[in-house]
Structure 1
Amino acid sequence: MSKRVHSRQHAAARASACPAPDTLTPADRYQELFTAVQGARVFADSKTFVDCAPLQDPQEILQAYRAQCKADGFDLKAFVARHFEVQLPPSSDYVSVPGQPLCAHIDDLWPVLTRQPLAHPPAGSSLQVPHDYVVPGGRFGEMYYWDSYFTMIGLVASGRTDLLHDMVVNFAHLIDTYGHVPNGTRTYYLGRSQPPLFAFMVELSERVDKCSATDFLPQLRQEHAWWMRGSDGLAPGGAERRVVRLPDGSLLNRYWDERDQPREEAWLEDVTTARLSGREPGEVYRHLRAAAESGWDFSTRWLAEGAPRKAQDGQAEQDSLVSICTTDIVPVDLNAFLYKLETTIADLAGQAGHEATANEFKKHAAERKAAVIALMWDESQGAFFDHDWRLGQRRSCLTAACVAPLFAGLADQSHANALAATVEQRLLAPGGLSTTECTSDQQWDQPNGWASLQWMAMAGFHTYGHDHIARTIAHRWLATVAAVYEREGKLVEKYALRQVEHQVSTGGGGGEYPLQDGFGWTNGVTRALLHAHPQHTAHACVAHAPEPMHR
């Protein structure tokens, strides 16, 4: 029996052993108790409560709350402490080793960031998967969709193809179980997905693990069907869930969420944003959730153009999100990723002898490519831009999402040639590729840089023969990561892309939560780049100031 067949059978057995999924979210389960805890900010981080493990049957906890909450002197914080256990990151003696090179540090982190699904507490918010998986780190103690692809490329460079295979099977299991890949493996993430990179994962696994990509054709088709729900019979100018039919009849996609309530992991923040906006709360919540599906939470990319980019002195960051309009926008990167999904399905269906399916998806891909180029390519600026389907016009802010058509193989060579010049002139920063041209208090804007965007740009430009800019981005990003590692002995979620010669490069700022250490996709991209650039000075970088790793 081949290794691949045995592994797939083992995965099926493990999956069948997973309990029937409990899809109740903490808000569903605890109702007014949930609202009271989040509204009173019992925990400093709104995500803490939704990740707690109940110490008895959840229904009994809710009944106890209802019986006690109106009594004189009722202490909500004490009640929560009696009935819930905070799920702290697993204890670890891991610290940065003085003098340890960056590459070895990353290799040592994979076991630290690996989780075993059988350790999930019962009646909590975790979604069960059959195999071990790697988490980002810090407050993110579950598996995330698009983060995981960029983690996987580092696992390959570290020789951990076992974990790569397990994670691909986990994602297939999620599609089989829920019909799509959730944002992350928590019940409160089930209403949305994230940038759909499963096709890229399958391609990577086939290349390095010798699995048969055609084994995953049913899951790839199911994911595509989920993203396209509502498209049948949709009239020009209309939108349904994640699908938009443009006035010319072309069909493209947007980000969305099935719910229009505050995000449970950021409940108070979202309620504050909706209140400050003066808009219909459900509309604001949907836009906030859709931005979370994009992975770019948050950015001026999703705000009404001309709206304030920074919160005023003394005002909360939520104030700058009041004009959010995510579902009005057709994003260039999402549609590039779906083009890759369609071409992958077409190729695999052809290999499997399903000619009708292959031809159907070739047609879908060709139509999507034509629509993306017609609506999102700006010849005068030499770049792809998002499209506002309600206003019927391109957005004006240049973002690093413009490289996604290269990464997905959607762009023509002429687009890549023009885009290389535009990116070099407008988005290339001292420390790597800028996220947007806009500076704001949101974490997916200048001055921050993100590992995922660096990799997509480098891989995309390399594919189209622009190795100079690909190499420049890679070398600058490695220098940025190495400078922080040498000074602080860790890798972090995002970086401020500034000069690094005198060690002034720092972790990035902005956003709804403190800068996180770990960190899954930074480790992955950096490890892959170290493998691809063996002469870079980052190989000689060692930790000078070790400290305990906060995960």
Structure 2
Amino acid sequence: MRKIILIFFIALQSGSLYAQQAKTPDQIYGQLFVDVQMQNVLKDGKTFVDCEPKRSPKLILQDYIRLRKSKGFSLKDFVANNFVFPDTNTTVAVTTNQSVVQHINDLWTGLERVPSGKVANSSLLNLPYPYIVPGGRFREIYYWDSYFTMLGLKASGKDEVIENMIRNFAALIRQYGHIPNGNRNYYLSRSQPPFFALMIDLLAQIKNKEVYITYLPYLEKEYAYWMDKSAATKHVMTMPDGSLLNRYYDQLNIPRQESYKEDVLSAGEAGNQNPGLYRDIRSAAESGWDFSSRWFSDGTQLKTIQTTQIIPVDLNCLLYHLESTLQKSYAAKHNTAKEKLYRNLAQKRKQSIQKYFWSARDQWYTDYNYKTKQKSAVLSLAGMFPLFFNIADQKQAQLSKVTLEQKFLRAGGLSTTLHNTHQQWDAPNGWAPLQWISVTGLENYGYSDLAKNIAIRWVDLNTRVYRSTGKLMEKYNVVDIHLTAGGGEYTSQDGFGWTNGVLLGLIRKYNLPE
């Protein structure tokens, strides 16, 4: 244990971007942090890092070191006496015969958080405007979740909340140079799938195209972060033909503060086989797909995780869209030189996406392994992103449609992958954002019948679970539709931001019964 702790604290000093920020709970509480997490005192490792101290952390730590070996000492009681536990209440009462749409409209209030004064030594990053959280243990704003949540807010007529959330993300970019995973300081070492440009598209639909000019500086800064221009974040990879594509890459190689014990145990299983395991785990968290067979070298076990070797198809499609949005924004400003620059960058990336991600053998877009220089054998719904962004040609879209229908379509919607590894981003689980990406991608190429079929299955499953439990879940089992979902390192959460958003969006899109 001493060796793990020593390596841990040495590593904390290595992330320059990370070290510039306010101290995180692991840095503040040292041995107390390690003991609380490793002894599973609060059941969920995220609880402690979200706690607020009742008094000076220095005095708390001093008292802990002095008392911890005394007879009858209770670590659980010590934590309860010295910390304020975070609020997880997002429950909204379900009245008899209330439709799921009415429930969601009521639920927005329970999921909304308003700015509050900065609390000393809290991990929470203050935001200037009200925002929506996903729900459950996810009690802060999350980056890519928020786009799909906004789809529902738009359907509910909550345009001001959407703009406030975008303003918050702009504030994060301004202050930290990127949008972190969530507004906690222990998330600052990574971002999440870059959906900010899509949020700007949504806001432009609500207001006008001037928003592209308003938010252009923030789109530029987001792009600089992902392209290693603002700092050497190592997200950019030079491909065999000299073109540039991107990967996920967390800035630290230490256990995640919010899942410390789980990561330490995973490192123990891996032994010395993967010295970058912590970074690969963190980088999977940056992908939003934590965890999935997409990232495993053996396709099954977390200990073989290799996220930083994978060039992901979905990330590069999102960056293609960001480049295209920058092109559009500079066109709105009549800056022809910059417009041409980003048009060329987007076109080059589109060509690389076709070259490195389309698998003629699988008739599907897959990830690319930079180390082996091979396309991944794992098929996942990330392969629908080229259809969502109109990158695929008609023939590729037709082949993808057939593969989707034959391999991914289940009773409750679309399965995330074809592998059941007991990880949450694998079969038999379905996730709201991937249903939306897939349905929209099919519609883009004229496959409306299949798109509506998927939407109906997903809406029916969500509604069935709601009627039996009074809740909307983070994810669902699309194979056995009498279950919700399972897998992963925490219990299934209810709330739930992006489920609400996609469900409302699909009901409105296809005029489905509530």
TM-score by length of 2: 0.92
Opposite residue 104 of structure 1, the aligned amino acid is Q
User: In the alignment, is residue 39 of structure 1 matched against residue 38 of structure 2?
Assistant: yes
Say which SS state the counterpart of residue 289 (structure 1) adopts.
Answer: helix
Counterpart AA for 2:267: A
1:419 to 400, 419, 424: 400
CA contact (8 A) 1:339 1:410 kept: no
Verify the 8 A CA contact 2:283 2:308 in the aligned structure 1: yes
Match of 1:278 in 2: 271
Residue 117 (structure 1) aligned with residue 115 (structure 2): yes
2:490 to 506, 509, 513: 513
Quote the Cα distance in structure 1 between the aligned partners of 2:346 and 2:383.
18
**Does the 8 A contact of 2:311 with 2:370 survive in 1?**
yes
Residue in 1 aligned with 2:22? 23
Match of 2:332 in 1: 351
Equivalent residue runs for 1:359-374 within 5 Å: 359-374=340-355
The amino acid that maps onto 2:291 is F
Matching residue of 1:95: 93
Count of aligned pairs? 494
| Aligned counterpart, 2:85 | 86
Task: State how far apart, in whole Å, the 2-side matches of 1:401 and 1:516 are.
Answer: 23
1:229 aligns with: 228
Cα distance in 1 for residues equivalent to 2:258 and 2:167: 27
1:22–1:84 Cα change, 3 Å: farther
Question: What are the Cα deviations for residues 115-172 of structure 1, in whole angstroms up to 9, with x where unaligned?
Answer: 1121664421101111000011111110000000000000000111111111111111
Question: What is the 5 A alignment of 1:236-315?
Answer: 241-279=234-272, 282-305=275-298, 307=299, 309=300
CA RMSD of aligned residues (A): 1.9
Kindly indicate whether the alpha-carbon contact (under 8 Å) linking 1:165 and 1:209 is maintained by their aligned counterparts in 2. Answer: no
CA contact (8 A) 1:113 1:137 kept: yes
State whether structure 2 residue 122 is matched by structure 1 residue 152: no
Secondary structure at the counterpart of residue 507 of structure 1: coil
**Structure 2: runs of 5 or more not aligned:** 1-19
Residue 245 of structure 2 aligns to a residue whose secondary structure is: strand
Alpha-carbon contact 1:261-1:282 (below 8 Å) kept: no
Show structure 1 runs of 5+ residues with no match.
1-20, 235-239, 310-319, 540-551
Aligned identity (percent) is 44
**Aligned counterpart for 1:394 among listed residues 375, 394, 398:** 375
**Amino acid of the structure 2 residue aligned with 1:43:** L
Separation of aligned partners in 2, 1:231 and 1:517: 37
Aligned residue for 1:183, secondary structure, equals coil
Render the CA deviation track for 1:309-349: whole Å, top value 9, x for unaligned. Answer: 3xxxxxxxxxx311111111000000000100011001111
Paired AA for residue 57 in structure 2: P
Question: What does residue range 100-249 of structure 1 map to in structure 2 within 5 Å?
Answer: 100-118=98-116, 121-210=119-208, 212-229=211-228, 241-249=234-242
Amino acid across the alignment from 1:511: G
- CA 1:120–1:533 in structure 2 vs 1: closer, same or farther (change >3 Å)? farther
Q: Partners of 1:91 and 1:490 in 2: how far apart?
A: 11
Deviation digits for residues 443-502 of structure 1 (CA, Å, limit 9, x no counterpart): 111110000000011112212222122111111111111111122221101111136xxx
| Conservation of the 8 A alpha-carbon contact between 1:150 and 1:452 | yes
Q: 1:120 to 1:100 in 2, by over 3 A?
A: farther
Question: Shift of residue 505 of structure 1?
Answer: 3.0
Larger RCO (CA within 8 A; separation ≥ 6): 1
* Structure 2 counterpart of 1:261, one-letter code: I
Counterpart in 2 of 1:317? none
Question: How far apart are residue 91 of structure 1 and its match?
Answer: 7.5
- SS of equivalent residue, structure 1 residue 349: helix
1:415 Cα deviation from its structure 2 partner: 2.1
**Which residue does the alignment assign to 1:16?**
none
Aligned to 1:312: none
Question: Corresponding residue for 1:17?
Answer: none
Secondary structure in 1 matching 2:253: coil
Q: Distance in 1 between matches of 2:77 and 2:197?
A: 47
| TM-score, reference length from structure 1 | 0.86
Q: CA–CA distance in 2 between the matches of 1:395 and 1:428? A: 21
In 2, Cα distance between equivalents of 1:384 and 1:188: 33
After superposition, what is the alpha-carbon deviation per residue over 1:371-416, rounded to whole angstroms, capped at 9, x for unaligned?
A: 1111110123321000000000000111000011122232233322
- Other structure's SS at 1:117 match: coil
The one-letter amino acid of 1:157's match is A
The letter for the 2-side match of 1:518 is G
